[in-house]
Amino acid sequence: MDAKPPETRPIVEARRHSADLVTLLKELQRAGRNAESVSLGAILDCVGRRSFAPFLLVAGLITLAPLIGDIPGVPTLMAGLVALSAGQLLLGRERIWLPAWLLARRAPRRRYVQALRWLERPASWLDRLLKPRLRRLTRPPAHLAVALTCLLIALAMPPMELIPFTANGAGLALTLFGLALFADDGLMALLGYLLTGTTLALVVMGLT
């Protein structure tokens, strides 16, 4: 047998998830359940670290979530998560590495769980829309275009904290790309590209 064990499979081989988005949100709620705060490392452990999709979904959902995404510095923290993971994907690394200081960043668990529960209703609506389609926009080598676009979003996110609503647009774009890889849904990727262009245009106009 010459197949690689699961823990060494390249991160470009993002596994196709059979669970729906609501189930994923419930899994995320279990992170740090025996503590008063939850770390980013515990959150990522709930969804797995062997593919790019969980990183995008976590970053996008946290940026979008009320009570958490509005905390100053959170969009920039999520930008760091996306930039590091997307950069490593573009460099062809087999596993995504994140520094200990980033994984150790924590948020109050009560606020974290409240935000995820708030997201369950829109997630239920999204689950009815997601399905495999336009797969050329999600399968290799299209994953490189997704990673590059997400890297651009991450680099633009710090100044977005100064421009109202643009960070939310960035979070939604990251979520769309994460959903695209999560559900093998190229339509979500297409919407993500369109939203990215609109959001970056607003950032440029806001800074000039």
Question: CA 19 to CA 36: how far, in whole Å?
Answer: 28
3-state secondary structure of 205: helix
The answer, yes or no, to whether residue 56 has pLDDT greater than 60, is: yes
Grade residue 165 by pLDDT with cuts at 50, 70 and 90. confident
Answer whether residue 76 is part of any domain.
yes
3-state secondary structure of 125: helix
Per-residue pLDDT tens digits for 102-149: 899 988 899 889 989 999 988 999 899 999 999 999 998 998 999 999
Question: CA 154 to CA 156: how far, in whole Å?
Answer: 5
Average pLDDT, the chain: 83
DSSP string covering 28-97: HHTTTTTSSEEEHHHHHHHH-SSSHHHHHHHHHHHHHSTTTTTSTTHHHHHHHHHHHHHHHHHTT-SS--
The parent domain of residue 79 ranges over 6-207
Flag whether the pTM goes above 0.75: yes
Answer whether residue 1 is part of any domain.
no
Answer whether residue 45 is part of any domain.
yes
Determine which helix (DSSP H) or strand (DSSP E) holds 109, and give its type and residue range. Answer: helix 109-127
User: For the range 71-75, what are the long-range contacts, defined as Cβ-Cβ under 8 Å and sequence gap of 24 or more?
Assistant: 71/107, 72/161, 73/161, 75/157, 75/158, 75/160, 75/161, 75/167, 75/170, 75/171
Token pair for 50:
């062997």
> Structural domain tally of the chain?
1
Angle at 24 between CA 16 and CA 200, to 5 degrees: 80
Beta carbons within 8 Å of 123's beta carbon, 6+ residues apart: 20, 21, 22, 24, 25
Percentage of the chain modeled with pLDDT above 90: 33
The 10 Å Cβ neighbour count of residue 59 is 32
Per-residue pLDDT tens digits for 70-89: 677 788 888 999 999 999 88
Answer whether residue 189 is part of any domain.
yes
Answer whether residue 78 is part of any domain.
yes
The 10 Å Cβ neighbour count of residue 191 is 17
Is the CB of residue 140 less than 8 Å from the CB of residue 10?
no
Answer whether residue 90 is part of any domain.
yes
The answer, yes or no, to whether residue 2 has pLDDT greater than 70, is: no
